[in-house]
Amino acid sequence: MILSMTGYGKASVVYGTKKITAEIKSLNSKALDLSARIASAYREKEMELRSMVSERVLRGKVELSLWIEKDEVEQAAKLNAPLIKNYIEQFQEANAQYGIPMPENLMGVVMRMPDVLTRQEMQEELTDEEWQVVRQVVVDAVEQLMAFRTQEGCALEMKFKEKLDNIEALMKSIEPYEIARTEKIRQRLVESLSSIPEVEYDCGRLEQEMIFYIEKLDINEEKQRLSNHLGYFRETLAAEYGQGKKLGFIAQEMGREINTTGSKSNQAEMQNIVVMMKDELEQIKEQVLNVL
């Protein structure tokens, strides 16, 4: 089973007057690249949260966000009553001492004065009970991410199998051209020599040279090794997840055999088939980059 490195997970829980939400996103990357944005109330637990996430996601460019939404009543701005009283007294004192008239809408003026409305942010101590709630929210978000990765991994696996089958079918389609090519090479050499009647040659030596030349163009070993790589790729797909890099190495080896086959294919039909095999393999290589 393979997993995709692409995924998304989100979980929320209400704890007292707070709504705690964890969100995690991941994209493909050669290694684990984890960034975290954590609410200040839980910043002291950042290293533990990073460790929790790292153990499950293994690899990828991962973004973890953890934030708090408080009850609207609790978040409402508070009136600074002592300061309001002080502003009113100052207006009254200015009126009494200097004859400055009182504003018609005294409260309206006072409410526009600095610091009349305040938001009191109190740093509450993180209790063990709240930490367990926060921890579970992060775990739930990570599990959703892994479920997403599993679903994407199943789609990738189906795509890989389709491409492997296509390469295998193309490889087999070369055989008729390969057999006909051998006879064409032999016939072309004989005809070329026959066109020069004054040249004498040793038939036995000619046969040996023809065999040597044909063996240099033989692709049976390449086909066998490519077949082995196709089988190994399928076995790796069925193994435990975390095989993305291994699949990439196997795909490279498949590419070497296909390229060698192409260099030995001095026939247009065979070369066309090799190009199609390369196209199928290129699609595999692109998708392998997204496998965990």
Number of CB atoms found within 10 A of residue 75's CB:
11
Are residue 195 and residue 281 in the same domain, yes or no? yes
Are residue 12 and residue 46 in the same domain, yes or no? yes
How far is the C-alpha of 284 from the C-alpha of 255, rounded, in Å?
Answer: 11
How far is the C-alpha of 68 from the C-alpha of 14, rounded, in Å?
Answer: 10
How far is the C-alpha of 148 from the C-alpha of 5, rounded, in Å?
Answer: 9
Q: What is the pLDDT of residues 131-163, one digit of tens each?
A: 999 999 999 999 999 999 999 999 999 999 999
Are residue 63 and residue 167 in the same domain, yes or no? no
pLDDT of residue 283: 95
Asked if residue 213 is part of any domain, the answer here is yes
Q: In what order do the strands lie in the sheet with 7-15?
A: 7-15, 18-27, 60-70, 32-38
Are residue 99 and residue 58 in the same domain, yes or no? no
Q: What is the pLDDT of residues 220-256, one digit of tens each?
A: 889 999 999 999 999 999 888 778 899 999 999 999 9
Domain count, the chain: 3
Asked if residue 166 is part of any domain, the answer here is yes
Are residue 139 and residue 251 in the same domain, yes or no? no
| Residue 280: both structure tokens together | 């199928």
pLDDT band for 18, please (50, 70, 90 cuts). confident
pLDDT at 270 over 90: no
pLDDT of residue 124: 65
pLDDT band for 76, please (50, 70, 90 cuts). low
Are residue 28 and residue 139 in the same domain, yes or no? yes
What would you report as the CA-atom Rg of the chain, rounded to the nearest whole angstrom? 37
pLDDT band for 122, please (50, 70, 90 cuts). very low
Asked if residue 239 is part of any domain, the answer here is yes
- Please, what is the Cα angle at 106 between 101 and 110, to 5 degrees? 120
Asked if residue 96 is part of any domain, the answer here is yes
The answer to pTM > 0.85 is no
Are residue 168 and residue 277 in the same domain, yes or no? yes
Does residue 34 contact residue 45 with C-beta atoms inside 8 Å?
A: no
Are residue 131 and residue 176 in the same domain, yes or no? no
Asked if residue 257 is part of any domain, the answer here is yes
- Looking at 149, 165, 196, which one is the last position of a domain? 149
pLDDT at 35 over 80: yes
pLDDT at 47 over 60: yes
Asked if residue 1 is part of any domain, the answer here is no
Domain housing 137: 7-73+125-149
Q: What is the pLDDT of residues 87-113, one digit of tens each?
A: 888 888 888 888 888 887 888 878 778
The stretch 28-56 carries a mean pLDDT of 91
